[in-house]
Amino acid sequence: MKRHLVLFSFLLFLLPAWAQVRITVQAPSDVVEGDRFRISYVVNTQDIENFKVDKFEGLVELYGPSQSRSSSVSIVNGRTTSSSTITFTYTVTTEKPGTFHVPAATVVSDGKAYKSDSPTINVLPGGSRSGGGSAGGGQGAQGGGQAHQNPADRMHVADVGDRITGKDIFIAVTASKKRVFEQEAVLLTYKLYTLVNISSLEGKMPELDGFHVQEINRQRQPELKMEHYNGKNYGTVVWSQYVVFPQQTGTLRIPEIKYEATVVQQNRSADPFDIFFGGGSMMQEVRKTVMAPAVTLQVDALPTPKPANFSGAVGRFSIASTLTPQELKANDATTLRLTVTGTGNMKLMKAPEVAWPKDFERYDPKTEDKTSVGATGSSGSVLYDFIAVPRHQGKFELPPVEFCYFDPDAREYKTVSTASYTIDVAKGKGGSSSSQAMSKEEVELLNSDIHYIKTGEPTYLTADSALFGSSRYWMTYGIALVAFGVLMFIFRRRAVANADLVGRRGRGASKVATKRLKTARKLMAENNATAFYEETMKALWGYVGDKLNIPVSELSKDNVREKLTARQLSDELIDQFLRALDDCEFARFAPGDPADTMDKIYASAEEVINKMETELKRK
């Protein structure tokens, strides 16, 4: 056992030496002139010496390097892994805008030198800021400031009631080309610029006449970046991108897109005590409509005359082919696979034409789309599988397959082609005769003649067996009319019931309160006291608000007592309901046994809601 422990410790000691030494640089990509931020060099081993950093060009070193170390050992499925790192951190600032390189760091480990990368930092001009001043400005040199890894922290949180203008938030639209050929791909980019904090943005391209539209799917959540524009530092993000293929010629217009943004504003007048007890919030969301401007494109027609074999493809393409098998027997199938690879309007092009020998039975091609949408249109490959069956033995020539497309950059039609194939067909089963014994006319007749004629006695349909005008027809018609009337009656009653919003709210009050009490019971079983009391309070307030049609803004104990008294409920029952509210509020902060208290509160709330429901139904 001791020998195994010694070997285990020895392997842990050697693991850092076996690992490849790496230096990772952590630094913000965008900062504002005058800000303090951190640059960290993380080395994946502590067995190093002679840590050095190149000269800071354009960046001012304030403090550093500070060092921190970390180590970890994990055993998963019997496999042991260990890691240790050492981090060197500098606090720096900037004096002027521009793009600067982070200095590279060099360390020596086991006699060998290793050097880090040197990423760039974009320093935006100071001037008008999007955020609330330089971060870390009140700290000492050793405080370090903030690294500004998240530009969203710079967004200004406006006060409730502040006017949000088109300069605070807007969307810019760019087109990769303004003049294109018909069917040529155009990339539309919708980029958000904002000075305020937004929590959501909704908008979508409408249906376009004269365009085929493909949206570029964004796999990751959009990341906010800083950009200096018109003297201000905006938070920017490419929100959506579309590839459009014009299907008509002339001047085509892509209309404006309406976006709805949710802007977060600060409610300075909110009462902190109300917020603490769940009655308000320091933040408030308001809706702001943002219009993305329209885009106009000039679309030219494709040059004429078009080649006879033009596939409709516009872009850049190549074609390859395989034939499997090339040697087969009569009545066996062979497959020609054509692979069209390139970039352009690949979802709109036609399949190539294959000139099979005349006595081959051919089938429609099977298509497999392996394309993805990118900035230049659809790119990737489209596979066409053509299946054909030779009916007679012999040697047959399959000529090259041509694919004609239009290259918008070269402004001309181009044709690419595959190789030709020789197909060797042997005699098949069933004594199939040689095609060499048949004339060309017989082969053509074979491909066009009737192959099968159905035999047997024909079946005739009499006039009496027709459905129209029969008793079955009128019975079905009558049942349909009755069913229509019944459905109209049911739907009309439901529409009247749905129109009574106050009545629906009151009728569903008990059901909603029971559902919330069930949730509270689960929270009580989990011993989650805070969530239990919140859910029980919601059940009590929600029930009386729905039952008496009291808006949330007007819910108070005095108002509830007045409404319940007007409904002629007993003072004892009203006092019991208000006492249940008081007990629930007090129990949230009172000492004692939480389990015993929650059980009493739950029983009291359930009892008083059931009593009130019974009494209100009698009234």
Q: Does residue 368 lie in a domain region?
A: yes
Tell whether 213 and 332 lie within a shared domain. Answer: no
Residue range of the domain that includes 364: 310-447
Give per-residue burial for 188-198: e unless 16+ CB within 10 Å, then b. Answer: bbbbbbbbbbb
The reported pTM is 0.55
The phi, psi pair for 286, rounded to 5°, reads: -125, 155
Q: Is the domain of 569 the same as that of 608?
A: yes
Residue 16 lies inside a defined structural domain of this protein:
yes
Q: Are residues 86 and 167 in the same domain?
A: no
Query: Are 11 and 81 part of one and the same domain?
Result: yes
Give the pLDDT confidence score for residue 113 in this predicted structure: 86
* Final residue belonging to a domain, choices 258, 275, 300: 300
| CATH code of the domain in which 44 resides | 2.60.40.10
CATH of the domain at 202: 2.60.40
In a domain? residue 290: yes
Name the more confident of 618 and 183. Answer: 183
Whether 430 has a pLDDT exceeding 80, the answer reads no
Q: Are 90 and 54 in contact (CB under 8 A)?
A: no
Do 207 and 244 belong together in one domain? yes
Q: Let me know if residue 162 belongs to a domain.
A: yes
| DSSP H or E segment with residue 374 | strand 366-374
Residue 278 lies in a domain: yes
**β-strand pairing of 112-115 with 79-94:** unpaired
- Is 184 in the same domain as 66? no
Q: Is residue 474 part of a domain?
A: no
137/217 same-domain check:
no
Rounded average pLDDT over 398-406 = 96
Task: Answer yes or no: is 493 within a domain.
Answer: no
Q: How far apart (Å, rounded) are the C-alpha atoms in residues 311 and 407? A: 12
Pick the last residue of a domain from 300, 318, 347. 300
Q: Which amino acid is at 417?
A: S
Q: Structure tokens of 148?
A: 């500004």
Residue 147 class from Cβ within 10 Å (0-12 exposed, 13-18 middle, 19+ buried)? buried
**Per-residue pLDDT tens for 502-533?**
566 667 788 888 888 889 888 888 888 888 88
Grade residue 291 by pLDDT with cuts at 50, 70 and 90.
Answer: very high
Q: What is the pLDDT of residue 453?
A: 56
> In terms of domains, do 93 and 132 share one?
yes
Beta strands 179-181; 295-300: pairing state = parallel
Residue 267 vs residue 558, higher pLDDT: 558
pLDDT digits (tens, 9 = 90+) for 578-613: 888 888 877 766 655 667 778 888 888 888 888 888
With respect to residue 489, please indicate whether it lies within any of the assigned structural domains: no
- Matching residue, tokens 């909704």: 202
**What share of the chain has pLDDT > 70, as a percent?**
77
Query: Do 56 and 13 belong to one domain?
Result: yes
pLDDT band with cut points at 50, 70 and 90 for residue 30: confident
> How many domains does the chain contain in total?
4
Whether residue 596 sits in one domain with residue 534: yes
Same domain, 185 and 139: no
pLDDT computed for residue 584 by the predictor: 82
Shared domain check, 184 and 122: no
Rounded mean pLDDT of 445-463? 56
H or E element that contains 37: strand 36-43
